[in-house]
Structure 1
């Protein structure tokens, strides 16, 4: 009986939330009196919406930010508290606006003291759309670009996007083409402090008794459990890596996750909690082994050869193996499979690690 009441209460709360969101959406739509025509020559101040982004999402957007600023646009970013540290120097922008997800109303009512000509939102409708639209509306931009946005009138230009197998940067390219901006290659643009590089070099020098060792970065944990190796898999992998006499392996990741991993000969844990020192280690490495997370995109930024492990997730028909793949010129992806076929919605914990060990054994320094 108690279980039934809990289920009914949960169902009622969800329905109430849906009705509430629908009313808020209608209210926002009614407040948008006129749609404006897209006029690229009229825009100089651009806002990029980074609501509910992970670190990897931000790194990917560094391509769009760089190209816009290179063409003399003033670029602002609106982002939540947890990722504001990425814009101190790591990614260069002109203005940063930080909101607290627990108090969106306060941010919406705040005086932005800036005029936004164009707002850009690269992501389609989702459970976070209402929050994104509220943020956009608070800036009152002249024009807003979105992708697959049919329900919200705030998007003056909604691009019908059905390229389910294309990399997420394709959306950046489409946006740049709309603005008549010419570019040659898709790259990520990151800045590391010399002090972070020196800390990374010092650590490498401490663990490399012999010079000219082949440096491998191993990142076993993703942002969620489905994108992470199991402890048993990690033990098998690092045991194998420890036997590569010409290699040194550095394990990176959140300290709370990697601190309990046992170090072995030739296998060391990076105990510096700084994300930027981790990035510096990646930039100095010869090879990266990582699950689908921000380290994929850091390694792509520095064009480090990489073995990336993905868990075959799909979202609204988009193949996330391809949407969030590495972009550098020298990488391989491994997908969780069974009898040679990819398993949809699989977890990395189901991966046969022999696939990975076979790839590692073919490295030049192994």
Structure 2
């Protein structure tokens, strides 16, 4: 009976995948027949909607740089994104709206707002994005590598393996004649989360906080437990005043308390931000914490492998590098970061913690 039920589930999944493909292909073909007639002029733009439908934190952190510069020029900037990114943006006062995206959500409310421009930074063309583009076809749509001129009338054919992801954002800003001003990620500050972090680690102004982010959501980019324990032991050996705080969901990291580290119960993305804000040094694998450290201008040592991005095949270690003066990047040759010697970070950590800046 169990085998039969598994068979039915497999058949059902295949059927649903086929229907989604048929719907996407049909809608894709239909959208190709649509044509805009009005010319894009940034002077006629008031309301802008940024799409971050996949709820990826690192992508959203970078997008805050574009959102802030647009808002600074007087545009009303809204973001459509998932629950984690929506939580992170809660304290970003320069945004007009943060709209929660749900798969198969009703688009009536969005369509009624008549956004002048909708910007999609991703390369993918899934059915949900195409449906949104169709329902909001009166808007100008900015896209990347989307061969749908009838909808994405402002489209960049852009795949550059040598340029950082911020180059994409500069291209978008150029549409609005924004060529000056520092592109800086802009995160808000959550006083409640900061108090929670300080209470959890018994923080005092004399404390030296080193945060370690061991997990990324992809096993080949994660530190192994023995690597994390080695990091904890080495960092604590440098100075007895150092508190090593492990960033991540409590269920995944709380066992490191037994090795002398500190974790914060009930951690959220805003908890992670406030831990980084208090840190004198951040040690992280290739994940959103790298870009949060950039946003808060905290000294960083990050570890990347040479994996390619799933959607484009571009080298992630170049496209998503730390990209700021205080951010140091270690690129390992091993496919799995867990197979590289963690001791290679020790001289860099020691040098950073002994530098003059550390005591300022």
Given the two structures, how large is their TM-score scaled by the length of structure 1? 0.84
Q: Give 1:96's aligned residue.
A: 98
Q: Give 2:338's aligned residue.
A: 349
1:112-165 CA distances to partner (integer Å, 9 max, x unpaired)? Answer: 4312111111122x2x53322322333334311111111563100211213222
Is 1:18 matched with 2:21?
Answer: yes
Structure 1: distance between partners of 2:114 and 2:293: 36
Q: Would you say the 8 A contact 1:62–1:91 is kept in 2?
A: no
Q: Would you say the 8 A contact 1:36–1:142 is kept in 2?
A: no
Q: Would you say the 8 A contact 1:304–1:328 is kept in 2?
A: no
Q: Give 1:122's aligned residue.
A: 121
Deviation at 1:11, TM superposition (A): 7.6
Is 1:318 matched with 2:321?
Answer: no
Q: Give 1:361's aligned residue.
A: 350
Q: Give 1:184's aligned residue.
A: 181
Unpaired runs of 5+ residues, structure 2, are 356-360
Deviation at 1:23, TM superposition (A): 1.6
Classify 1:42/1:115 alpha carbon distance in 2 versus 1 (closer, same or farther; 3 Å): same
1:54-80 CA distances to partner (integer Å, 9 max, x unpaired)? Answer: 112111111011001100001121123
Structure 2 counterpart of 1:214, from 205, 208, 218: 208
Structure 1: distance between partners of 2:74 and 2:326: 32
Q: Would you say the 8 A contact 1:255–1:273 is kept in 2?
A: yes
Q: Would you say the 8 A contact 2:284–2:290 is kept in 1?
A: yes
Structure 1: distance between partners of 2:149 and 2:229: 49
Q: Give 2:254's aligned residue.
A: 259
What SS is found at the alignment partner of 2:88? helix
Structure 2: distance between partners of 1:15 and 1:45: 37
Unpaired runs of 5+ residues, structure 1, are 338-342
The count of corresponding residues between Structure 1 and Structure 2 is 347
Deviation at 1:299, TM superposition (A): 0.7
Q: Give 2:154's aligned residue.
A: 157
Mean CA deviation greater in 255-264 or 59-68:
255-264
Structure 2 counterpart of 1:234, from 211, 228, 233: 228
Q: Would you say the 8 A contact 1:149–1:158 is kept in 2?
A: yes
Deviation at 1:354, TM superposition (A): 2.1
Q: Give 2:275's aligned residue.
A: 281
Deviation at 1:183, TM superposition (A): 2.7
Q: Give 1:340's aligned residue.
A: none
Deviation at 1:298, TM superposition (A): 1.1
Q: Give 2:54's aligned residue.
A: 52
Q: Would you say the 8 A contact 2:284–2:303 is kept in 1?
A: yes
Structure 2: distance between partners of 1:44 and 1:119: 11
Is 1:327 matched with 2:323?
Answer: yes
Deviation at 1:187, TM superposition (A): 0.6
Q: Give 1:138's aligned residue.
A: 135
CA RMSD in angstroms, aligned pairs only: 2.8
1:322-343 CA distances to partner (integer Å, 9 max, x unpaired)? Answer: 2112133112111221xxxxx5
Deviation at 1:243, TM superposition (A): 1.9
1:175-206 CA distances to partner (integer Å, 9 max, x unpaired)? Answer: 111211243212111111333333334444x2
